[in-house]
Amino acid sequence: MSPKDNGHVEEIMKSIVYRKKDVDGEKVEWLKIQWLRLRKDEPFKVFFKYSSDDSTPFRCLDIGKRSPRERRVSLTCLSGTLPQLYLNGHPIKAAKYRDLQSFIPMVHHAFYRSLLQDGSCDPDADAENDIVYIEDDDAQ
């Protein structure tokens, strides 16, 4: 992922409505949903199933604004590209960077070295996480 993949979604969030009932008037039980489908041709509808069975039909949840004027305005925000959220990437905390380096295999460290880190770091935390290798003279 590059920084260009992250965008502001505020305009999209203004154009949708959180609804508790689907188009048939039945309550949507979010924790029971097993399959979600989003379609480009119907951007303000969420299709879902409570099972992963192929023969079960999808139910529909309309998340768009009700008035045609509001829908027209909201379609313009979907047609363009999102403004970039972070121009140079989003920095991670130094402690998180150290944790990543300790868990990730060495062959992948080059990618993680390129991650931006914020400079704020507790010097005592660095001293605690330092690894010291002591060579045993008897092993030779």
Owning domain of residue 70: 3-79
pLDDT band of residue 117 (cuts 50, 70, 90) is confident
Looking at the domain assignment, is residue 25 inside a domain?
yes
Q: What is the pLDDT of residue 68?
A: 64
**Does position 7 have pLDDT exceeding 50, yes or no?**
yes
Mean pLDDT of 93-106: 86
Contacts of 119 (CB under 8 A, 6+ apart): 94
Looking at the domain assignment, is residue 73 inside a domain?
yes
Q: Which residue has the higher pLDDT, 86 or 3?
A: 86
Q: Are residues 8 and 54 in the same domain?
A: yes
Looking at the chain, the whole-number percentage of residues with pLDDT higher than 90 is 27
Q: What is the pLDDT of residue 89?
A: 73
Q: What is the pLDDT of residue 57?
A: 95
Number of folded domains that form the chain: 2
What would you report as the CA-atom Rg of the chain, rounded to the nearest whole angstrom? 24
DSSP at 26: P
Strands 35-39, 42-49: pairing is antiparallel
**Does position 133 have pLDDT exceeding 70, yes or no?**
no
Q: Are residues 8 and 33 in the same domain?
A: yes
Q: What is the pLDDT of residue 123?
A: 43
